[in-house]
Chains A and B, each alone.
Chain A
Amino acid sequence: MTLFLVLLPLLGVVTILLGSDPRRTARITSALMLLSGLSLAGLWALGVRDGLSIAPVVLSTPEIRLGLGFYDGMSVVMVLLSVLVAFAAARSGECEDRHARLWNISILLIAAGAVGAFLSTDLFFFYAFHELALIPTFLMIGILGRGDRKQIAWKATIYLAFGSIVLLAGLLWLVSASGSSTLAFDDLLDSSIPVEAQRGIALFLIVGFGTLVSLFPFHSWAAPAYASAPAPVTMLHAGVLKKFGLYGLLRLYPAVPAGMHAWLDILVILLIGNILWVGFVTINQRRLDGMLGNSSVMHMGYLFLAFAALVEAGSELANPIAKPAAVLLMFGHGITIAMLFGLTDRIERRTGTLELRELGGLASKAPSLAFLFGLAAMASIGLPGLANFAGEVMVFLSGFRGWDPGEPLGGVQIATIIALWGLVISAVYMLRAYRRIFHGTEVPFTATAADLNQSERGPAILLAFTLVAVGLFPNLLLKLIENPEDRAAMEQRTIAASISAASPASPGTESPTTDNQ
């Protein structure tokens, strides 16, 4: 059944290639994806497991399967995020008629790649679907981007190709070190890898996935790319695709916990770089799109903070809120940034500029645009009642989980305190930008601006509704993430891991898993 979710956009691509109206096809396809995504997630929440996943063999030695299904609650949430953003993206931005095919095919391919990657239960397709989504991203920036588009697209291509190759090296090493004869997550995550190899694999994974998530200092491709790319591509990439890196780290973490722990200090320093360095860069931005691009890089620091908290604790049992916190924040941030970029495109179409000092007084001309943008901006800062707040609070709590007030502060705790200051930075640049654009007196650029029309409002309202719903009832998602069955399975896995780590066969295996039992 989940196969359907990947096939839908691919079918859409084929029908467009065969000559159907690209815009309508993309809109209908994304609506169907949203419907089926919601209903599949609903089935999963009701406890239906049979028939949801498939895994036909595509290669017999070593066994590779086209494994598609919800691996756990994290997959469900990420798929929901993908279909929501894809729905909005297919209705955002405008292109000339002669580019309509390329434009809509790209949107559908990126959506297919993202959904496929989050649904994969097999390492090979997990990697492959993500690559599938990257190629149309590059092409769209290079052909239809703004500014110095070729240079920007080329830079993003080089960075992401570098990240993908490092990642591939890490994944191959992981497979060979695990001694597993299949590439299924189930087998890989159950294996016990020697600590020596874990360290190397973890480094490759951090650098590879880190480049994809724009971890400092591998982040400089992201902001220019987001500023340049057409609106739907930015929405899909910043909102969904970039989360693949963190999703991958969280997913593969159980295979290399000790290895990740070895790099914890460096990880903490890098994520502080994300929050502070990129935060100050963001404050200095003069254009709205550049500011949003940098802010999205900055917020990745919070996600890495949750991951660092998980790594420090050593297992999902020792810090049970770190992973849900990261997933919730990924969801909230994805919706928020997609909404912001979608509305930014609307602003540019109305005023013809995104220079902050050239704008002003837009609120009186376009009240609903101002309201929706304000809502998303507030969510981005972390206003209570909106999805990001729930995620951020949980991230900060997870940072102090297991810390005893008597002990000195560890790296993760210090990072958490610094990250709290990051909220102030976000507030400064977001509120300043909001004031510049929407308040004050009208300027020539905004004098003739019209409010959002019905069809423009639709996708933004859907995303806004999601932000409020999840903000008020975070349990909607948390219940999915903390599934009791998962929990039982996870405990089993941890016990098995601790037994193998404690066995005399591997002396010196100081797995943090056992420390926290």
Chain B
Amino acid sequence: MPAYWLEAFVVALGLLLLMMEAFGNPASKELIRRVALGGLIFVLVPFYFAVAPSEDNAELARFYAYDNWAIFFKLLALLSTILVLFMSYDYRGVLNQFTEDPGSEHGTGEYYALPVFACAGMMWMASAQDLVSIFVALELVTITFYILVAYMRRQVGSLEAGVKYLILGALSTGFLVYGIAWIYGMTQTTNLEQIALQLSSTLDNPLASNPSGLLFGLALLVLALAFKVGAVPMHVWIPDVYQGAPTPTTALLSVGSKAAGFIVALRILEPFFASEITRGQTTMIILILACATILLGNMAAIPQVNFKRLLAYSSIAHAGFVLLAIAAWHPGSEKSLSTPQVVSLYLATYLIITLGAFFVLVVIRGSGETEEISAFDGLAQRNPLLALCTTILLAALAGLPLTAGFFGKFFAFQVAITSAATTKMLWWGVGIGFIGVAAGFYYYLKVVRAIYWAPPRDESPLVLPRVSRLAILGLTALTLLFGFWPNPILWMIGG
């Protein structure tokens, strides 16, 4: 079975869900939630039988890659969407408050159908290897998110977030198209393999003598991708949108959408890093972005008092560490992982930990009216188990060893230090990265401090809903497991 059937199936599932919303019971969306979840979980089965599209189908094979990266990032997209749908299960109380007929499920059906479309888009992005198909898949994801972010239409914060996301999203789309046009103008192709071929030789190559047009196009593409992954200077939307959007949407933005952005970044940047013509400048651009992103993400996170905003800045900071690994492009050897492997490993561990943290946030939000860090005060007395899991997840976000979060940072630094032997300027990235990690300890542990040291404002025990309980326990267990045995992730990315 050719792999693109997977995306076709997911899109069909989404259409089916929209039909169910239009013609089904308006008062209960239970069935839609279940079908969406069941359908996505079912897709994992044909995943096993999927193969690359055959060479006969040349017109499609040109657009569609099915390699280790594609498999891994498709899986990442699927898993994050499935977990986010689980998350919306316990979030439905909050969601229902701010849609029409507050308190009822009227008009909330699309909220469970749209993530399926976003998932299809992210899965296609994992395979796209032509600038045009990248653009189409990216827009599918982005447009879906315009709706999801503003979904709580009776809440000003959500609407404001939607508008901000829309404006900056449109701007970055503009950059993307403009960049594609420049690249096409310089290379006469939009296919990444062809571009790689053109960049591979320096002899008699007009691009080698004057690469400035190409680099300009690349800079525009990098800007557009920086919007997707939340890197400086296109990060300004992140804190407000993360804070305003419904929490499951924030989680999907922060994990799925970001991961999809990074796979596209890897695919687009690979030919530019491989080529003698552009390697130096590409490294420079990405390194500057990485340093700025790490610094800004970590420093701005320090004074935050809202946990969701804290996670937003933390997500910027993590994007910075991934960018550092990309800037230190390394093809891999027996001594160290390649950059795509490091990025994959980082994002896989990041998915587990961040979704765990968002599940915790949903529970906290469900038990009170606020998402401030002070809502965690005295959590250790209200629910010791949740307090322990939250501590482990936060420690993992900070990158403490024996949690999964350590390995991502460990390898990002390792690949940077390895490449720094030849590209001296990477030492700047390493130095700034360590400052960022140190700052990270401070602001993540600030929450741990609230959990254990602050007296609770509300003495009543906090009851964990069943779905969240399972998810938080499972994700925490995985965080610990991958903390001392990361090899399974490496098997998946073919290491």
Contacts and interface: CB of A to CB of B under 8 A. Distances in A.
A375 B417 CA distance: 51
A166 B337 CA distance: 23
Interface in A23-66: 57-62, 66
B452 A139 contact: yes
A61 B449 contact: no
Contacts of B486: 58-59
B417 A60 contact: no
B418 interface: yes
Given A62-B414, A127-B401, A161-B441, A143 B490 contact: no
Contacts of B421: 176
Contacts of B384: 101
A62 B335 contact: yes
B336 A61 contact: yes
Interface residues of B, number: 37
A285 interface: no
A161 B414 contact: no
Interface in A142-158: 142-143, 150, 153-154, 157-158
B428 interface: no
B453 A59 contact: no
Interface string B433-460: 0100110011001001100110000000
A150 B442 contact: no
Contact of B490 (A59, A129, A172): A59
A175 B414 contact: yes
Given A132-B402, A139-B452, A143-B453, A165 B336 contact: no
Contacts of A132: 401-402
A58 B484 contact: yes
B406 interface: yes
Nearest to B407: A59
Contact of B484 (A66, A150, A175): A66
Highest count of chain A CB atoms <10 Å: which of B334, B335, B418, B438: B335
B454 to A, nearest CB: 9
A175 B453 CA distance: 38
Interface in B444-478: 445, 448-449, 452-453
Contacts of B487: 57-60
Interface in A119-152: 124-125, 127-129, 131-132, 135, 139, 142-143, 150
A411 B259 CA distance: 56
Contacts of A60: 487, 490, 495
Interface string A74-87: 00000000000000
A6 to B, nearest CB: 11
B414 A150 contact: no
Contact of A176 (B401, B417, B437): B417
Given A131-B401, A142-B449, A143-B453, A62 B336 contact: yes
B434 A165 contact: yes
Most B CB atoms within 10 A — which of A59, A165, A166?
A59
Closest 5 CB pairs of A and B: A128-B401, A181-B335, A161-B441, A176-B417, A128-B402
Interface of B: 332, 334-337, 341, 380, 384, 395, 400-402, 406-407, 410, 413-414, 417-418, 421, 430, 434, 437-438, 441-442, 445, 448-449, 452-453, 484-487, 490, 495
12 contacts: A58-B486, A58-B487, A59-B487, A62-B334, A66-B485, A127-B401, A128-B401, A139-B448, A143-B380, A154-B449, A157-B445, A162-B438
Interface of A: 57-62, 66, 101, 124-125, 127-129, 131-132, 135, 139, 142-143, 150, 153-154, 157-158, 161-162, 165-166, 168-169, 172-173, 175-176, 179-181
